[in-house]
């Protein structure tokens, strides 16, 4: 793993505060979605709304099956919502495809492409010169600990490495807003914390707008400017939390008493939510 020294760029900046006057990079309003087939109806999203400011890192935490992946499919234009809309930079883009950099929950790497060719796919789709794309891919693969696997085929990689490749593919997508669907779920605890630190460095350097789904409260607190807690199905926003820790963040904040308090609060809230549904 790259042992990065704290990048000097934008050192000590506070998270971009949410001012009403700014146009969010991504906003969804009043999303509702029900999947119907002949036999059953699944009410997945219920009046969901959230915002991601430009350069803001936002996480969504919610029980599984609460419609998080469906939300990303709606944002990406793949699934039509029953009602509600998606806005990017103030424009209504509901149903439009190709506007987000996306990392799916399953890596969905193409087995006939080498890892490198998978990573540069989004640039290839944009018509970027192959040589340029390849150089970019190489550079990022090295930083993600995938050096030496450029010419390997995905099925020869561990689940964790596949996820890193899928993450790089999203990172190399030219779109400004990144949507990451449980990016580190297949990683063991150690690699996971490595990757979190790595993502923190990369993100504090590049400051893209990120919307990330996770189950991991600590991960969300470490990385995010704000966190949305999602209810069980049908998914609706239970609470929005602003994470107060200054940037650049170091891992030491995991031990900070206020960090621990916040973490306990969130996990209590989620446990309560799950118990309520269980009855």
Ligand X SMILES: Nc1ncnc2c1ncn2[C@@H]1O[C@H](COP(=O)(O)OP(=O)(O)O)[C@@H](O)[C@H]1O
Q: What's the min distance (Å) between Cβ of 44 and ligand X? A: 4
Q: How many residues does the chain have?
A: 279
Which of residues 121 and 179 has its CB atom nearest to Mg ion in the complex? Answer: 179
Which of residues 101 and 180 has its CB atom nearest to Mg ion in the complex? Answer: 180
Phi, psi at 7, each rounded to 5°: -65, 135
Binding segment for ligand X among 17-25, 59-67, 204-212, 271-279 (CB under 6 A)? 59-67
Buried b vs exposed e over 174-209: b needs ≥16 C-beta within 10 Å?
A: ebbbbbbbbbbbbbeeebbbbbbbbbbbbbbeebbb
Q: What's the min distance (Å) between Cβ of 170 and other proteins? A: 9
> Which partner, other proteins, ligand X, Mg ion, none, binds residue 268 by CB below 5 to 8 Å per kind?
none
Q: Is 253 in the site for ligand X (CB under 6 A)?
A: no
> Which partner, other proteins, ligand X, Mg ion, none, binds residue 237 by CB below 5 to 8 Å per kind?
none
- Cβ atoms of 51 and 18 within 8 Å: the answer is yes
Binding segment for ligand X among 14-22, 47-55, 58-66, 157-165 (CB under 6 A)? 58-66
Segment 64 to 83, residues that bind ligand X, using CB under 6 A: 64-70
Q: What's the min distance (Å) between Cβ of 68 and Mg ion? A: 5
Which of residues 77 and 84 has its CB atom nearest to other proteins in the complex? Answer: 77
Q: Is 69 in the site for Mg ion (CB under 5 A)?
A: yes
Residue 153 CA to residue 160 CA, distance in Å, equals 14
Sheet holding 57-61, edge to edge: 101-103, 177-181, 209-214, 57-61, 226-230, 237-242
Buried b vs exposed e over 74-87: b needs ≥16 C-beta within 10 Å?
A: bbbbebebeebebb
Which of residues 15 and 76 has its CB atom nearest to other proteins in the complex? Answer: 76
> Which partner, other proteins, ligand X, Mg ion, none, binds residue 100 by CB below 5 to 8 Å per kind?
other proteins
Choose, by CB under 6 A, the member of 28, 31, 44, 270 that binds ligand X: 44
Judged by phi (left if over 0) then psi (alpha if -120 to 50, else beta), residue 196 lies in alpha
Which of residues 202 and 270 has its CB atom nearest to Mg ion in the complex? Answer: 270
Binding site residues, ligand X, CB under 6 A: 35, 42, 44, 62, 64-70
């Amino acid at each position: 793993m790259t042992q990065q020294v704290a990048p000097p760029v934008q050192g000590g900046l506070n998270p971009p505060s949410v001012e009403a006057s700014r146009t969010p990079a991504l906003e969804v309003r009043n999303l509702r979605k029900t999947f119907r087939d002949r036999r059953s109806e699944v009410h997945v999203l219920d009046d969901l709304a959230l915002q991601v400011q430009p350069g803001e890192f936002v996480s969504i935490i919610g029980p599984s099956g609460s419609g998080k992946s469906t939300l990303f499919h709606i944002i990406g234009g793949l699934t039509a919502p029953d009602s509600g809309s998606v806005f990017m930079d103030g424009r209504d883009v509901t149903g439009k495809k190709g506007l987000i950099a996306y990392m799916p929950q399953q890596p969905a790497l193409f087995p006939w492409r080498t890892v490198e060719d998978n990573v540069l796919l989004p640039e290839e789709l944009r018509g970027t010169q192959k040589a340029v794309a390849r150089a970019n891919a190489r550079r990022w693969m090295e930083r993600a600990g995938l050096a030496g696997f450029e010419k390997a085929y995905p099925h020869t990689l561990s689940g964790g490495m596949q996820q890193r490749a899928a993450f790089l593919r999203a990172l190399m997508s030219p779109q400004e807003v990144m949507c990451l669907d449980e990016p580190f779920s297949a990683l063991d605890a150690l690699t996971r914390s490595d990757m979190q630190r790595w993502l923190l460095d990369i993100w504090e350097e590049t400051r893209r707008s990120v919307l990330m789904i996770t189950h991991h409260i600590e991960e969300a607190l470490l990385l995010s400017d704000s966190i949305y807690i999602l209810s069980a199905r049908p998914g609706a926003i239970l609470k929005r939390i602003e994470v107060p820790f200054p940037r650049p963040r170091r891992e030491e904040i995991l031990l900070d008493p206020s960090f621990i308090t916040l973490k306990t609060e969130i996990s209590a809230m989620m446990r309560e939510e799950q118990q309520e549904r269980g009855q």
